[in-house]
Amino acid sequence: MRGGVQLFSESPGQRYAGLVFTDDLSDSPQEISISGTAVSAPLKFSRLTWQFPTRHLGETSGSYVVYIYNPGSPAIRFTSIQFFGGNTQDFAITQNTCGSAVAPYTTCAVSFDFSPKAVGERSTSLVFNDTSYGSPQVVSMSGYAIAK
């Protein structure tokens, strides 16, 4: 018996192959179809949690940065990068070098700050919706605010 893998067709995201067995039986060759969906490697983040130092009410922190690395091919496209849930009004994106995509084997960065609008524990999530495996990715953020 001989075997091999043959590629039947290919389209973005979807992959098809077949396992072909050739032998001396009357119904030779026998074929088994195989299919699956190809996904991009997950993005790598420099940090997935962020704890800001305590701030006075209304005081803005300096900018902090999370780095995002695309460890494979193709480019990863972002559909959104935004704060979601909790106290979103206390956090702001100050710079985004990622734009709408991060090219293969490159790094981009998103900078943000913390400016509490109320006293006490403040928290939110920076959510990255994209085309990579594991999307959305979430960077949890929190800080504490005290009165002036």
Strand-pairing partners, residue 89, are: none
Separation in Å, CA 116 to CA 50, 80, 83, 121, 143? 15, 24, 14, 9, 8
Residues of the chain with pLDDT > 90, as a percent, come to: 67
Tell me the mean pLDDT in the region 21-49: 81
Per-position b or e across 13-29, b if 16+ CB within 10 A of its CB: eeeebeeeeeeeeeeee
Please tell me the predicted confidence (pLDDT) of residue 108: 98
How much is the mean pLDDT over the chain?
87
Q: Yes or no: say if 145 and 53 are a contact pair by the CB < 8 Å rule.
A: no
Question: Residues of CATH 2.60.40.10 domain(s) within the chain?
Answer: 44-146
CATH superfamily of 44-146: Immunoglobulins (2.60.40.10)
Residues 118 and 26: their CA atoms lie apart, in Å, by 79
- pLDDT for 64-86, tens place per residue? 999 999 998 899 999 999 999 99
Average pLDDT over residues 120-134: 95
pLDDT above 60 for 11: no
